[in-house]
Amino acid sequence: MATHTRGLTETTSVRTRGLTRSFEGRAVLDGLDLEVEPGEFVVLLGRSGSGKSTLLRALAGLDDGVAGSGEIDVPEQISVVFQDSRLLPWQRVLTNVVLGLRGGGARTKGREALAEVGLAGRERAWPGRLSGGEQQRVALARSLVREPQLLLADEPFGALDALTRIRMHGLLRALHERHRPAIVLVTHDVDEAVVLADRVLVLDAGRIGTELRIDIEAPRDPSDPRFAAIRTELLAALGVGGPRSDEEAA
């Protein structure tokens, strides 16, 4: 039996027990146990096809119809951000941000969230007129405005150029500092993981294979020897040799 329960808890933000998900009889997640603390920033690495998106969809409760078992406990308020911003092209930016939001003052909250991601004044723009990075910032504003206890992000910066990505890292860290949701973010980029995470997990053979806590103070410098040591360890866990071959991990 698979259970997915919302409404957790003061001491934990995510808890899975024995989580299994299978496609065509093949277990992609295979008895996976995971705990995330409130406010913790967890980054999930793993080879392509290792089940990262499958895990995120399961946590989000977006995998109806997928065969599986195990327990999932997550908080009530969850936001999800994907690699593409998934904005509605026929709605203006602010409307996209507040779409489906209930309660008074939604548009005011939406404006505040847009200001937080550096897009004050762009409320009436059409999504198609924004750059990829701006669209992802709108997607972040849309998730923020829901005041999530848990933010799930599947390669949210995967389609952005390197410089925009670095800016987005700074922005996401600042938003995390201010709002303190628990975050589970999937990426292929080992340096992104080390820049962002309190804890990095490597998914392997359907479970958490490697787990590293990152205790380097921010802002983290990729040329710091501690950073390099963690990078090497993570690349080894991903089955990639050599300290600077991040691209091969993708």
Ligand X SMILES: Nc1ncnc2c1ncn2[C@@H]1O[C@H](COP(=O)(O)OP(=O)(O)OP(=O)(O)O)[C@@H](O)[C@H]1O
Q: State the residues that interact with Mg ion by CB under 5 A.
A: 52-53
- Residues in contact with ligand X, counted by CB under 6 A, come to a total of 10
Nearer to ligand X, 48 or 223 (CB): 48
Q: What's the closest the beta carbon of residue 119 comes to Mg ion, in angstroms?
A: 27
If contact means CB under 5 to 8 A according to the sort of partner, which of ligand X, Mg ion, none does residue 143 touch?
none
C-alpha triplet 122, 151, 139: angle, nearest 5°: 20
Nearer to Mg ion among residue 52 and residue 231 (C-beta): 52
Pair of tokens at residue 228: 């390099």
CA distances in angstroms from 101 to 18, 59, 75, 112, 135, listed in the order given:
34, 21, 18, 14, 19
50 binds, among ligand X, Mg ion, none (CB under 5 to 8 A by kind): ligand X
> Near ligand X by CB under 6 A, which window of 3-11, 48-56, 106-114, 236-244?
48-56
User: Residue 28 binds what, of ligand X, Mg ion, none (CB under 5 to 8 Å, by partner type)?
Assistant: ligand X
Q: Which of the choices Mg ion, ligand X, none does residue 48 contact, using the CB cut-off of 5 to 8 A by kind?
A: ligand X
CA angle, 231 as apex, 226 and 236 as ends, to 5°?
130
Q: Is the dihedral angle over the CA atoms 45, 14, 41, 57 positive or is it negative?
A: positive
Q: Which stretch binds ligand X (CB under 6 A): 52-60, 122-130, 162-170, 227-235?
A: 52-60
From 7, 11, 48, 103, residue interacting with ligand X (rule: CB under 6 A): 48
* CB 210, CB 190: distance < 8 Å: no
> Which C-beta is closer to ligand X: that of 23 or that of 90?
23
- For residue 49, the partner it binds in Mg ion, ligand X, none, with Cβ less than 5 to 8 A by kind, is ligand X
Determine the Cα–Cα distance for residues 105 and 119; give it in Å rounded to an integer: 19
Name the residue among 33, 42, 71, 3 with its Cα closest to residue 151: 42
The residue among 135, 219, 212 whose CA lies nearest residue 173 is 219
Task: Find the residue with minimal CB distance to Mg ion.
Answer: 53
CA–CA distance, 79 with 74 (Å, rounded to integer): 12
70-89 positions binding ligand X, by CB under 6 A: none
CB of 124 to Mg ion, least distance (A): 34
Structure tokens at 60: 């989000």
Pick what 23 binds: ligand X, Mg ion, none; C-beta below 5 to 8 Å, kind-dependent.
ligand X
Please say whether the beta carbons of 185 and 164 come within 8 A.
no
- The type of residue at 84 is D
- When the beta carbons of 51 and 127 are compared against ligand X, the nearer one is 51
Q: Which residues bind to ligand X, rule: CB under 6 A? A: 23, 28, 46, 48-54
